[in-house]
Amino acid sequence: MWVSLCTLICGVVIASAEKGPELWELNTDAHHRVVRDLADEGHIDVWGHTRQNTKVLVEPELKHRVTRALSDANISHSVVVPDVFDLVEKERENMVLKKSRRKRSAGQMDWTTYHDLDDIEGFLGWLNVTGGNNVHIASASTTTEGRPVLVVRITNPNATGPKKKIWIEGGIHAREWISPAVTTYLMHQVALSPEWRDLLDVTEWYFVPVANPDGYQFSFSSNRARLWRKNRRDNGGLIARCRGVDLNRNWSLKWGVGASSNPCSETYKGIEAFSEPETFGLQRMMNSIPDIDLFITFHSFGQTVLYPWGWTRDPPSNVKQLKGLAKKFANAVNEASGSQTEYELGGSGPLYGLASGATDDWAYGELGVPFSYTIELPDQGTYGFLLPDSRISSTVTETAAGVYCMVRSLTNTGGRCGRRQARNQNVNPRFRG
């Protein structure tokens, strides 16, 4: 009797008591040696930072070690969120609720909730059919868990004049869920929206909706997995967080600067450049397309438009042009949002501290793409990676307005940008999956 009661109650208590990481704010910037060392060893996960403060995730079992290291360096900290799983749990409950409602109206993609890989692949299949000859889907490679890394080309094949080539990458970091939401929405607009239709004669788009499918799918599997960043490479060893390679530190230009050699770190760069099937396959496909004009990789969070370099603070040769096109994006977003959403612009090294092996530096420096950007989507840190789903539709429509203006400018096709454009970015098309 006692035994069975305990199996029941104790089981429940243990399950509900699994404690998640704490979110701390440190009174120092992220470049402090002690902060960098802790991150490098995988003892903290840097969530975000300003010039004065750094927010980090600390696992319960590492609290004492981290506290000691910080106090030895006279760095004080405060606890911002005592258990991040509380936030994750709220997000999950909301998603389950929405999913059960959606089931009744058959498979449907929308931009009011986050979608797992099955939903996204269902959407791609639908787009493939609906977009006819304009849409072509290929796989760049197969991940270690056997998933394809899909690339969707969208253009009007009947238009044979010169075209600007645009490569859009999303979802390279698993937990940045707003990124695949933005890439799928952009694909929808580019392929099907009347406002964008004429652009298909003068542009050729390549979309990677989810560059890290193993990591992305894993991030939907449990509360603990929600904050996963890397892919799912087995690096040997038994510690769960020591799996995976940071795919945005695995590109070959200046590989290793600002990245970690420790598999337990969130910025583990891997054993050599392009060791990972995702990055290897994507670079091979990018290399096969001559003269890509514009490259954008969507990340979260921070509301910044970053251009090269990441590995040095020196500006690149066409910094004026890079900044000019970034401004088109930022201004259009700002106007579309009714002056609510402000982006900061700058070189990623100067703004975020030096790091290399990222896609944008590689696209610019190795591939010679003249316009290469990392866009850190909303917000500015209030919710961070856990951007509420109530923010998805405004974020995707504002971002689409920004990209629209960049591409109008790049193709010299004029067109109206800003508020009106954003109003026309209607959300919620329905499709049968």
Ligand X SMILES: *[C@@H]1O[C@H](CO)[C@@H](O)[C@H](O)[C@H]1NC(C)=O
Per DSSP, the three-state class of 176 is coil
Task: At 258, give phi and psi (nearest 5°).
Answer: 65, 20
Considering only residues 56 to 95 of the shown chain, the ones binding ligand X according to CB under 6 A are 73-74
Told to check if 193 binds ligand X by CB under 6 A, we report no
- Total residues contacting ligand X by CB under 6 A comes to 25
Helix 178-192 vs helix 117-130: crossing angle, to nearest 10: 10
Nearer residue to ligand X within complex by CB, 236 or 290: 236
Q: Residue 404: in which H helix or E strand, if any?
A: helix 392-410
Cis preceding-peptide flag for 110 (omega within 30 of 0)? no
Q: How far apart are CA 106 and CA 69, in angstroms?
A: 53
Choice from 255, 298, 307, 309 touching ligand X (CB under 6 A): 255
Nearer residue to ligand X within complex by CB, 147 or 233: 233
User: CB of 117: closest distance to ligand X in angstroms?
Assistant: 13
Give the CB-nearest residue to ligand X. 270
Q: How far apart are CA 421 and CA 415, in angstroms?
A: 9
Nearer residue to ligand X within complex by CB, 128 or 331: 128
Range in contact with ligand X (rule: CB under 6 A) among 129-137, 188-196, 290-298, 371-379? 129-137
Told to check if 354 binds ligand X by CB under 6 A, we report no
Choice from 209, 281, 357, 365 touching ligand X (CB under 6 A): 357
Nearer residue to ligand X within complex by CB, 232 or 249: 249
Told to check if 252 binds ligand X by CB under 6 A, we report yes
Q: How far apart are CA 202 and CA 198, in angstroms?
A: 8
User: CB of 74: closest distance to ligand X in angstroms?
Assistant: 4
Told to check if 137 binds ligand X by CB under 6 A, we report yes
Told to check if 207 binds ligand X by CB under 6 A, we report no
Nearer residue to ligand X within complex by CB, 264 or 405: 264
Told to check if 269 binds ligand X by CB under 6 A, we report yes
Q: How far apart are CA 256 and CA 250, in angstroms?
A: 8
Q: Tokens 């999950």, residue?
A: 92
User: CB of 126: closest distance to ligand X in angstroms?
Assistant: 9
- Evaluate whether 161 touches 290 at the Cβ level (below 8 Å): no
Per DSSP, the chain holds a count of helices (H) and strands (E) of: 13, 12
Nearer residue to ligand X within complex by CB, 112 or 235: 235
Nearer residue to ligand X within complex by CB, 133 or 339: 133
Choice from 4, 100, 158, 339 touching ligand X (CB under 6 A): 158
Choice from 156, 223, 331, 413 touching ligand X (CB under 6 A): 156
Considering only residues 370 to 429 of the shown chain, the ones binding ligand X according to CB under 6 A are none
Question: What separation in angstroms does the CA of 203 have from each of 48, 164, 260, 331?
Answer: 35, 5, 38, 22
Nearest C-alpha neighbor of 375 from the set 326, 342, 321: 326
User: CB of 27: closest distance to ligand X in angstroms?
Assistant: 13
User: CB of 378: closest distance to ligand X in angstroms?
Assistant: 28
Q: Residue 139: in which H helix or E strand, if any?
A: strand 135-142
Told to check if 192 binds ligand X by CB under 6 A, we report no
Residues with active-site annotation: 376
User: CB of 369: closest distance to ligand X in angstroms?
Assistant: 17
Told to check if 271 binds ligand X by CB under 6 A, we report yes
Told to check if 273 binds ligand X by CB under 6 A, we report yes
Told to check if 21 binds ligand X by CB under 6 A, we report no
Told to check if 275 binds ligand X by CB under 6 A, we report yes
- Beta-carbon contacts of 424 under 8 Å, excluding residues fewer than 6 positions away, are 193, 195
Sort strands 77-81 and 54-58 into parallel, antiparallel or unpaired.
Answer: unpaired
Choice from 27, 32, 112, 125 touching ligand X (CB under 6 A): 125
- Beta-carbon contacts of 427 under 8 Å, excluding residues fewer than 6 positions away, are 110, 111, 112, 185, 393, 396, 397
Instruction: Kindly compute the dihedral angle of the four CA atoms of residues 305, 317, 200, 327, in this order, to the nearest 10 degrees.
Output: 40
Per DSSP, the three-state class of 335 is helix
In this structure, the chain runs to a length of 433
C-alpha atoms less than 13 angstroms from C-alpha of 348 in its C-beta half-sphere = 26
Query: In the 8-state DSSP scheme, what is residue 109?
Result: -
Considering only residues 222 to 251 of the shown chain, the ones binding ligand X according to CB under 6 A are 233, 245, 249-251
User: CB of 276: closest distance to ligand X in angstroms?
Assistant: 5
Task: At 329, give phi and psi (nearest 5°).
Answer: -60, -55
* List of residues contacting ligand X (CB under 6 A): 73-74, 125, 128, 133-134, 137, 156, 158, 233, 245, 249-252, 255, 269-276, 357
